[in-house]
């Protein structure tokens, strides 16, 4: 797998008034044959939803869906009986499996919500649908990486049906940290910079830039300014 860089201003853009979104990979009306997926990472959408608006009930199947609110709160309801609100600092996972219907709305009537909607291809089809969410302490990822999503047999983070590891780091300017990929044989690590500026293996990223690296590379990350970074360590689909 070769390294790739996706600058923020090259993402697919949609503006429906109530929804403004940037798509790192092909999604909906945005189709780029060179950006279908990165290993098993299929969707990375940076969504902003207007106050009181949202996605009406719609179905999913055989997909692991991760939502990470960056600002504001997101209201969730699904066909397996789950209803709740996820806020900035929390992470939500949903295994669509054999089929699930859900809706997502901005919980606020006055402020927009900004969240990352991420889809990962599962390690098998026909899994039982499930939902989970968890609050993660920002202090526990200060100048280091904190696991927020992991495989089922791990005790770290929220689990999904894939050998995928999501880690977040809040780094002070000048801090240098390393990350050893876990899918060393097949796969890679996709880095998405939420805010700030970093250098990863001599690749400089600014806010909302993304870059994928082979799983054979140790990632050396230097924060050029205060930064928040999401690493998605995903296997290739065989």
Q: Is 104 known to sit in a ligand binding site?
A: yes
* β-sheet bridge partners, residue 167: 147, 231
Q: Is 58 known to sit in a ligand binding site?
A: yes
The Cα 49–Cα 12 span in angstroms is 17
Tokens of 231: 């690493």
| DSSP character at residue 123 | S
Contact 171, 220 (CB under 8 A): no
∠ CA(73), CA(109), CA(72), 5° rounding? 20
Dihedral Cα 126, 131, 134, 140, nearest 10 deg? 10
Residues making up the binding site for Fe cation: 58, 60, 102, 104
Residues making up the binding site: 58, 60, 102, 104
């Amino acid at each position: 797998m070769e390294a790739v860089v996706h600058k923020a201003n090259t993402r697919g853009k949609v503006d429906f008034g109530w929804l403004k979104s940037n798509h790192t990979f092909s999604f909906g009306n945005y189709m780029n044959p060179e950006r279908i997926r990165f290993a098993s990472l299929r969707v990375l959408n940076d969504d902003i939803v207007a106050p009181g608006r949202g996605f009406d009930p719609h179905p999913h199947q055989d997909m692991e869906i991760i939502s990470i609110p960056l600002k504001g709160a997101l209201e969730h309801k699904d066909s397996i009986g789950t209803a709740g609100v996820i806020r900035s600092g929390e992470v939500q996972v949903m295994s669509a499996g054999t089929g699930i219907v859900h809706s997502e709305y901005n919980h606020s009537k006055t402020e927009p919500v900004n969240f990352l909607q991420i889809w990962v291809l599962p390690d098998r089809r026909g899994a039982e649908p499930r939902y989970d969410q968890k609050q993660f302490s920002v202090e526990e990822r200060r100048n280091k990486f904190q696991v927020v999503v992991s495989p089922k047999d791990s005790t770290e983070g929220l689990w999904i049906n894939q050998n995928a590891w999501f880690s977040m780091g809040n780094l002070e300017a000048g801090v240098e940290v390393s990350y050893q990929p876990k899918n060393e044989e097949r796969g890679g690590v996709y880095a998405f910079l939420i805010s700030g500026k970093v250098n990863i293996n001599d690749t400089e990223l600014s806010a909302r830039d993304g870059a994928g690296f082979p799983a054979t590379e140790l990632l050396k990350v230097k924060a050029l300014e205060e930064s928040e970074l999401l690493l998605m360590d995903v296997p290739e689909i065989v």
